[in-house]
Amino acid sequence: MDWTAVRLGRRGAVAVVAAAALGMSACSSSTGTSSTTSGGLPATVNVVSINPQTGPAAFAGLAANKGYDLAIKEINDTKFLGSTTLTLSKVDTKGDIKTAASSASTAIADKSISAIFGSVSSQEAVAISPLVQQAGVPTIYTQAGSDGVVVGDATYRATPLMRSYYSLVKKYIQDKGWKSVGIIHTAAAPTLVDIGTKALPAIATELGMTVTTTVAVQGTTQDFAAPISQVLASKPDVVAILLVGAQNPTAMKQLRQAGYTGDVLGNSGASAGNLKPAGADGAGMVWPVDFNYQQKAEASQKFVKAYQAAYPGENPLNYAAEAYDAAWFLAKSIKAAGSADRGAIKTAMATVAKEKFDGALGNGLTWKDRDIQVPGVMIRWDGTGDVLLYEGAAN
Amino acid sequence: MAVLQDLLGALGLASIYLLFALGMSLTWGTIDILNFSHGSIFMFAAFTAHLLIPGLPFGFFGIALVCIVVGAVLSLLVQVVAFEQIIKRARNRNTAERQILIGGIGVAIIPLAIAQEVTKSNPFGFIDSGFEVTTWTFMGLRGTNILIITLAVAAALAVGTAMWLRRSRHGLALRAIGVDAEVAAMMGVDRRRLAIATMAVSGGLAGLAGCLFTYTLGAITPESGDTLLIKAFACIILGGVGSTGGVVLGSVLLAVTETIVLTRTSGLWVEAVAFGLIFLVLLVKPSGLFGRKEVRRT
């Protein structure tokens, strides 16, 4: 999902991109051709992760970096690229768009960098994408669900768009027999606006349900008593709360305080333990997500075990799983290219993306328009942890 | 009944705005310090209590006390370490005001960064604190015990602050500083001591607001104080700088307006309407609803 809560104004984004582009052209006139050896793999292939490791999105950026680290360790340990070692360096964007854009410019200008793992932040990714696409640097994002991230043949996204798997809620709605839904969604995350105003209403129409009311809240909203009051006044059978991570426990608590005791349709922003502060009031929120550590696919469980061995006491989050698959996708592309050259890797990525594969995110993974497609899983929060309800079918 | 329920919700929201804004208004209206680290102090007080809870389930009063003390100490430190130094070195009052504003923003980043680093920006709350937020129903109205506490504390503190400023010797001295610091000093008012005490009280109020806000919402994030800072700023400007009654009215107006917009529209217009209203009020009465015309000697 797009975790971002605040959008950069269009003018601001244009200014950042323009400034970074100027900076890039000032320090390099490269068209993206790497100075690494063409026609054969060098001893080391360098990749950089440009992700927030501090700031509001640090939870996603840090988890993604763990996934990259794990995959790259496996790639090197198993000598997947022969005697070639994949080396990852990490840049902390600190949640700052300008830092993300300038870091991308630096990576583009550094001919020893063959590819980039792009930011989990939509705002940062939107600033990075035009630069890497123009320079032809293969870039794989995770999260960053907004438009303007996957902009050309150099840019891929290893997180499925939420709308591609949100239809998993249909089965749950049908089992419960709900006939109406009231929706509260944030206006600050494009992905959740899309789910709240298009995807979920379309599902409701398909299932013969009515949408009793739809209320948008700002990204800065912290008290949801008023929108909850409005939604409950419309007397829906079920309430959908489509908010960014930190807003979810508050909304659940206030929903219970307002007297609503039923299930709540949510989104993956409620995962990663975000509902813990709501305590028992958080129980009953259900949501589809692209990955959960309990999912049964063999490749997923292999990843989970490797992750738990690498990070004892931790269960992997979807951010790590997505990054893990992104790193393996890149490794396969490098191997197919037989070169660390950016252009060759980019061409190989298009070929590798045509193949179905099994990964941390499940079996039968595919790419569509350079966005990964996954079966997905349905999760219910029981007040203390995730409960796997059911899994989507592999493609 | 739905209208009454919304009104109750609006009053709860107004109480939070008021508790937060009261401390800011106190320092701004008396010792001329617009403290932009108030939001961070608010958050960090609650964050400290959150960190202490696992070992010590304090109960509500214990948590509130921890928040108040942490808020007061932090605010006092900000005054002594940052603002006093700025005032000492500034060429004149206008320069000092501007530098304090920027200094406050700078200082605010430190607790924010610490909390972000520890929580990874995940929400945190007071789970297992020994105090449960419970729900009640009265004649069809629903509310929580923390709502009642927040309303009562906000009302008591607003009245108490106004009375203290108006009737006590310290309050009189503070108001004298607010009107003319130089003349007040000539009359024997110890500005430094009063400024430190005022900042400590302001920080304590921020800490208490942090405690009540966290219990009300269930969880806050390291960035929660920043959002409230803007709202509190608006409440003070709307009501008039230096007027406790003005802050009360500003908080109620902002909260009621937001609630009306949120419950009657799709919700997207809430801040546009609320802040548009403030803009209109200021066009008609630039000093705010209860504000005095500023008289400043050159």
Quick check: is B278 in a domain? no
Residues in A whose CB is inside 8 Å of some CB of B read 54-59, 62, 187, 214-218, 220-223, 225-227, 229-230, 233, 245-246, 249-250, 252-254, 256-259, 272-274, 276-279, 281
Comparing alpha-carbon positions, the chain B residue that sits nearest to A197 is: B266
**Chain B CB contacts of A230 below 8 Å:** 262-264, 267
Does residue B168 fall inside a structural domain?
Answer: yes
| Per-residue confidence (pLDDT) for residue B43, from 0 to 100 | 96
The per-residue pLDDT for B230 is 87
Tokens of B213: 């806000």
Taking chain A (395 residues) in runs of 10, the rounded mean pLDDT of each run is 37 44 40 44 96 84 96 97 96 92 96 96 92 97 90 96 92 96 90 93 97 90 89 95 89 93 93 85 95 94 97 94 98 96 97 96 94 95 93 79
Contact residues on chain A for B10, CB-CB shorter than 8 A: 226
- Cβ burial, residue B167 (10 Å; 0-12/13-18/19+): exposed
pLDDT for residue A19: 45
Q: Do B218 and A250 touch (CB under 8 A)?
A: yes
Domain that holds residue B57: 16-132+139-222
Backbone angles phi, psi at A101, to 5 degrees: -65, -40
The domain total for chain B is: 1
Tokens matching residue B112: 């924010």
Does a structural domain hold residue B171?
A: yes
Tell me, yes or no, whether B174 lies in a domain.
Answer: yes
Q: What is the pLDDT of residue A42?
A: 95
CB contact under 8 A, A249 and B218: yes
B293 belongs to a structural domain: no
Tell me how far apart the alpha carbons of residues A243 and A229 are, in angstroms, rounded to a whole number: 16
Which helix or strand (DSSP H or E) is residue A79 part of?
A: none
Lookup: tokens for A181? 């839904």
Nearest to B6 among A220, A226, A277 (CB): A226
CB nearest B263 (choices: A221, A230, A277): A230
Taking CB atoms and an 8 Å limit, are B133 and A217 in contact across chains?
no
Is B209 contained in some domain?
yes
Q: What percent of chain B is modeled with pLDDT above 90?
A: 45
Predicted pLDDT of residue B204: 96
pLDDT in tens, A185-218: 998 888 899 999 999 999 999 999 999 999 999 8
pLDDT at res. B54? 78
A384 φ/ψ angles, rounded to the nearest 5 degrees? -130, -25
Q: Which residue of B has its CA nearest to A216?
A: B267
| pLDDT of amino acid A395 | 61
Round to whole Å and give the CA distance between A359 and A355: 12
- In this complex, do A226 and B116 lie within 8 Å of one another by their Cβ atoms? no
Strands A44-51 and A264-265: unpaired
Residues of B in contact with A277 (CB under 8 A): 123-125, 127, 218-219
User: How many angstroms from the chain centroid is the CA of residue A103?
Assistant: 20
Domains of chain A (ranges plus CATH)? 10-160+299-373 (3.40.50.2300), 164-289 (3.40.50.2300)
Query: Is B123 inside a domain boundary?
Result: yes
A245 contacts on B by Cβ (under 8 Å) = 122-123
Please tell me the distance in Å from A270's CA to the nearest CA on chain B.
11
Task: Compute the distance between CA of residue A250 and CA of residue A228 in angstroms, rounded to an integer.
Answer: 11
Residue B236 resides in a domain:
no
Length of chain B: 298
* B263/A281 CB distance under 8 A: no
To probe the interface with B, which of A250, A256, A274, A275 has the most B CB atoms within 10 Å? A250
Structure tokens at A230: 């409005």
**Which residues on neighbouring strands pair with residue A380, listed in sequence order?**
A286, A387
> Are B266 and A245 an interchain contact pair (Cβ–Cβ within 8 Å)?
no
* pLDDT reported for residue A72: 97
Per-10-residue mean pLDDT, chain B, length 298: 86 93 90 92 96 82 95 96 90 84 91 88 85 87 92 95 86 77 77 90 95 92 88 89 90 91 79 82 83 53
Q: How many residue pairs bridge chain A and chain B with CB atoms within 8 Å of each other?
A: 123
pLDDT at position A190 is 81
